Structure 1
Amino acid sequence: MADPEKIYPATPHKRNESRKRGQVAKSQDLSAVFNLIGVLMFFYLTKYTVWDQMASVYSVAFKAIPLVDQNPIISFLSVMRILGSIITPILLLGLIFGVLGNVLQIGVMFSAEALIPKFDKLNPINGLKRLVSIRGLVELAKSVFKLSVITYVVASVLIDDYPTLLALGKAGMSHTKSVSLVVATAGGIAFEIMLKVALILLILAILDYLYQKWQHEQDIRMTKEEMREEMKRTEGDPEIRRRIRSVQRELSMARMMKEVPEADAVITNPTHIAIAIKYEYETMEAPYVVAKGERQVALKIREIAIENGIPTIENPPLARALYKNAEVGEVIPMEFYQAVAEVLAYVDELTQRFSGLSAA
């Protein structure tokens, strides 16, 4: 059962680390079924040849070796040669299909850590704990169920083919043709048993793989502390990141405030928002935003504007629209050209009036 404190799904980094340790979602049953499928494929493709070869083994081993044989080594080697020609391709196909079953489940993977012997598994107390754990009980139930299914399949096939087996028992074994018939018939029954067992085990193995995949996801889930530590390793300490962002904001704010004295006008909300605008007719295609801010930042912009004699114009709708749609250092959107132009024209008029009063 998964640890109740593991509330976060595994991150890609945690999955990679688990894979390096050989901890992957894998069903041993599915690999075993693929082995069995490889053996069945061999018997299906070579059923006539292999039965004849097995009959030859019987003949050579039990009929062609009298007690007075002066050269038993030759007969023994003949038997081994025939057995080798049967067993070798079976082992090769079983190995190939077993590897294929693993690759389909987990891909190509090599983990040296998984090969290191874990001596704690030899501890009988630990073994007993694993046995009585939820996972151990599930594995035990699976084994009992599979054994029951296999027993049922074998028994049902043998009962159905009992008359054939009885007839084989009564048949003579003195001729090679009789031996071949017995071997072929018994082999056919064995093939039927293995095929039915393989089909049932394949279904059970697929279900087991889905269970193992779910169980693996539960095992690699992460606690809050593990998530925090991984964030530190992969992205840096959160506290340090917060400090860096804070310093970056302060530097950006300082640069922005230095530009406020160069503005031509400050449009306000009047107290919550402030937008500093600059426009030079000769060099700029459109006005651009020197600085913007809300609340304390807006108050600071207004203070700097007053200190430097920059006109402050109250226009709440325009101030809100520019704050939402215009960025610092960029020209204002085209839809605000007319409104901003009216503000700048009004500022020019105020400046000219002030200049006239000063001259008078």
Structure 2
Amino acid sequence: MSENDDQDRELPASEKRLREAREKGDVPRSRDLSAAVVVLAAVSTLIASADQMALHASNIMHVGLRYSRADLFAADGASHALATAGLEALKMLGPVFSVTIVAAIAAPALLGGLNFSGEALVPKFDRLDPIKGFGRLVSMNGLVELLKSLLKVILIGGVLAMYLRSTTRELVAVGAGSVNNGIAQSFRMLGHASLLFGSMLGVIALVDAPWQKFSFAKKMRMTKQEQKDEHKESDGNPELKSRVRQMQHQMSRRRMMQDVPTADVIVVNPTHFAVALRYDDGAMRAPRVIAKGVDVMAQQIRDVASAHKLPFVEAAPLARALYNTTEVGKEIPAALYVAVAQILAYVYRLKQAVANGDLPPDPPTPEIDPDLLGPYRMDT
């Protein structure tokens, strides 16, 4: 990655980019943090069980020292001795191994979380390129790794050297006492030295973990062009989406026009708005809008309705309120129940009058709350 690329990558990584990186096994990791957790877990177990471990180590020594000439010539003498020593060794090291394995699995979760990716196991032969390898050495990450290595040598080497210097007498006195005391003392000194070692690793990890998170976030940053490409890939081609929406709208209009002949009444305003209503008291809780339109669409609705000899009712405020409040295929709101009931009752009386040869009734003038008209308020 060139310096110009780094300068262009000024946008934080998106969720999609981070998810794809995680699927490839690319997550922030701190080897020093993992090593510190594993060592401290093992050392804590070693110190806590030092006496028991010393006892098992003493038993292993006794098995070797008590191996007699008769055991040598016995059929199962050697196997019995090895089995006994092996069992004691398992008892001695089992707790430490168990805790170490658990810590080794759990330690990576502290920074990048648990993650397994088969793609990370695939060998990457581009890492064998000497030119790229030299570039990694002279990069900022390479410099940080070099400084960490020097810090490890200075801290760990210096602290352990001081500890060995301060415990010189104890080391010399280990062989002067009994075997059991010498073994126990050796385990205690080993535990303290390992504890110092793990503590120094922990100090280094406190510096390394934030750096690894920062380095990973920097590596995942995106350019403006990458973000645009990702949005385009996620959202699809805008032209194609626009075409799909247009086709869906056309199909919806065709279905709506096919439902117009089933309407009971067309409420108009008188030319700009047209709303087709249908009511089936056996299947519907309230009248339903089955088609609506403005201007050209309103004219198409009127043409279809006229071809099927459907009744028209001119009620400008109601037509606008229905258009504003109710989507096609939905029931009208409760606030328009009374007004629509007046329209349906008028249509019923009109049909009866036509069938009987009577004069048509006067059309209703339902009152409509102006707030129901929304942006379609009528001019006063």
Counterpart contact for 1:15–1:220, Cα < 8 Å: no
Change (3 A) 1:50 1:258: closer
Q: Which residue in the other structure is 2:167 paired with?
A: 165
Structure 1 range deviating more: 300-309 or 83-92: 83-92
One-letter amino acid of the structure 2 residue matched with residue 314 of structure 1: A
Change (3 A) 1:149 1:139: same
Q: What secondary structure, in the 3-state scheme, does the structure 1 residue paired with 2:28 have?
A: coil
One-letter amino acid of the structure 1 residue matched with residue 258 of structure 2: K
Report Cα offsets for 1:76-133 as digits up to 9, x if no partner. x99xx7996667765564344212324665436251x322322221222101222333
One-letter amino acid of the structure 2 residue matched with residue 313 of structure 1: E
Counterpart contact for 2:275–2:323, Cα < 8 Å: yes
Question: 1:94 and 1:141 mapped to 2: Cα distance?
Answer: 28
Q: What secondary structure, in the 3-state scheme, does the structure 1 residue paired with 2:25 have?
A: coil
Change (3 A) 1:346 1:37: same
Q: Does the alignment pair 1:21 with 2:15?
A: no
Change (3 A) 1:56 1:110: same
Correspondence list, 1:1-360, <5 A:
4=9, 9-11=14-16, 17-50=20-53, 90=96, 93-102=99-108, 105-107=112-114, 109-111=116-118, 113-145=119-151, 149-150=155-156, 153-154=159-160, 158=163, 164-168=166-170, 173=175, 176=178, 183=186, 186-187=189-190, 189-197=192-200, 199-201=202-204, 203-204=206-207, 207=210, 210-211=213-214, 214=217, 218=221, 223-230=227-234, 239-270=239-270, 272-279=272-279, 286-305=286-305, 308=309, 310-316=311-317, 318-346=318-346, 352=353
Counterpart contact for 1:313–1:343, Cα < 8 Å: no
Report Cα offsets for 1:171-224 as digits up to 9, x if no partner. 595555695587366435414413532553564465456546645754899632
- Root-mean-square deviation over aligned CA pairs: 4.8
Q: What secondary structure, in the 3-state scheme, does the structure 1 residue paired with 2:292 have?
A: strand
Q: What secondary structure, in the 3-state scheme, does the structure 1 residue paired with 2:266 have?
A: strand
Change (3 A) 1:187 1:349: closer
Change (3 A) 1:309 1:56: closer
Counterpart contact for 1:265–1:276, Cα < 8 Å: yes
Gaps of 5+ in 1: 59-73
Gaps of 5+ in 2: 1-5, 62-77, 361-380
Normalised TM-score (structure 2): 0.64
Counterpart contact for 1:39–1:93, Cα < 8 Å: yes
Change (3 A) 1:262 1:131: same
Counterpart contact for 2:256–2:291, Cα < 8 Å: yes
Q: What secondary structure, in the 3-state scheme, does the structure 2 residue paired with 1:223 have?
A: helix
Counterpart contact for 1:22–1:114, Cα < 8 Å: yes
Q: Which residue in the other structure is 2:369 paired with?
A: none
Using the aligned pairs only, state the percent identity.
Answer: 30
One-letter amino acid of the structure 2 residue matched with residue 297 of structure 1: M
Question: 2:33 and 2:223 mapped to 1: Cα distance?
Answer: 22
Question: 1:283 and 1:95 mapped to 2: Cα distance?
Answer: 68
State the aligned residue count.
Answer: 330
1:311 CA displacement: 2.0
